[in-house]
């Protein structure tokens, strides 16, 4: 059974703690280090590794502190090069080449974002849990089987975004960037329709925009579509 704890989600910073009861991981470290410490009850030694999707600060703000705490941090070569950080705890992993951390077998896969080499991660353990983690991508080109947990970005709704642009609350120039870098509610729905959800236990919607999303609407529409438990990070 997977335990998911949200330490931060959104443009202000992203960080999630997950555990299968044997191995605890951080997904992202984009919040203040002291907030990460609080989130894990100051038991940083219990954290076996940290997965980082890309180089934006809201996903890796505390990277140096996490590595100084003795935690290996895993990312693509492109992300590592963009960060220009050299440390023996920084581990470069390759697209579609699985690696192991404790009880987790982890498969990195490429996603679509306006950075060097962004990854999503598929995590599986021997108990049969399978968790998909994908954020900051406007599209996922892969299909997945036997997922039990999904943590996926649902940044904005096209209708909310268009209303905000018409009202002058959101600059129209932002629309182009959002379309090429973040997951909309509409595209997240298409992603769910394309995947086998028969074993799925719960869905976590991540990284909602402060201005271009509607938490209640997103939760309701995804629950109606999938029939699964939906949580907003």
- Model pLDDT, residue 135: 94
Distance separating alpha carbons of residues 80 and 67, to the nearest angstrom: 13
pLDDT band at 174 (very low <50, low <70, confident <90, very high): confident
Residue range 94-120, pLDDT digits in tens: 999 999 999 999 999 999 988 999 999
Residue 181 pLDDT exceeds 90: no
pLDDT value, residue 127? 93
What whole-number distance in Å separates Cα of residue 26 and Cα of residue 219?
24
Query: In which element (H, E) is residue 62 found?
Result: none
Query: Do residues 79 and 57 touch, judged by C-beta distance below 8 A?
Result: no
Between CA 50 and CA 135 the distance in angstroms is: 15
Model confidence at 170, pLDDT cuts 50, 70, 90, reads: confident
Record the pTM: 0.94
Alpha carbon distance 101, 75 (integer Å): 13
Q: What is the pLDDT of residues 11-48, one digit of tens each?
A: 899 999 999 999 999 999 999 999 999 999 999 999 99
At 205 the pLDDT is 97
Phi-psi region of 84 (alpha: psi -120 to 50; beta: other; left: phi over 0): left
């Amino acid at each position: 059974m997977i335990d998911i704890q949200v330490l931060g989600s959104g443009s202000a910073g992203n960080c999630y703690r997950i555990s299968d009861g044997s191995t605890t991981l951080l997904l992202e470290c984009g919040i203040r280090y002291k907030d990460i410490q609080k989130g894990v009850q100051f038991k940083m030694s219990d954290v076996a590794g940290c997965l980082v999707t890309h180089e934006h600060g809201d996903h890796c703000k505390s990277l140096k502190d996490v590595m100084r705490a003795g935690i290996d941090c895993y990312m693509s070569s492109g992300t590592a090069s963009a960060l220009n950080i050299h440390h023996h705890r920084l581990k470069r992993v390759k697209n579609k080449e699985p690696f192991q951390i404790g009880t987790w077998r982890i498969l990195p896969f490429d996603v679509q974002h306006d950075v060097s080499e962004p990854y999503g991660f598929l995590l599986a353990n021997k108990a049969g849990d399978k968790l998909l983690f994908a954020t900051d991508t406007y599209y996922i080109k892969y299909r997945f089987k036997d997922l039990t947990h999904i943590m996926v970005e649902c940044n904005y709704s096209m209708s909310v975004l268009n209303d905000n642009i018409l009202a002058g609350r959101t600059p129209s120039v932002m629309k182009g960037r959002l379309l090429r870098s973040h997951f909309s509610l509409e595209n997240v729905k298409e992603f769910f329709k394309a995947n086998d959800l028969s074993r799925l236990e719960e869905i976590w919607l991540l990284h909602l925009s402060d201005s271009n999303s509607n938490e209640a609407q997103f939760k309701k529409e995804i629950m109606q579509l999938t029939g699964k438990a939906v949580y907003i990070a």
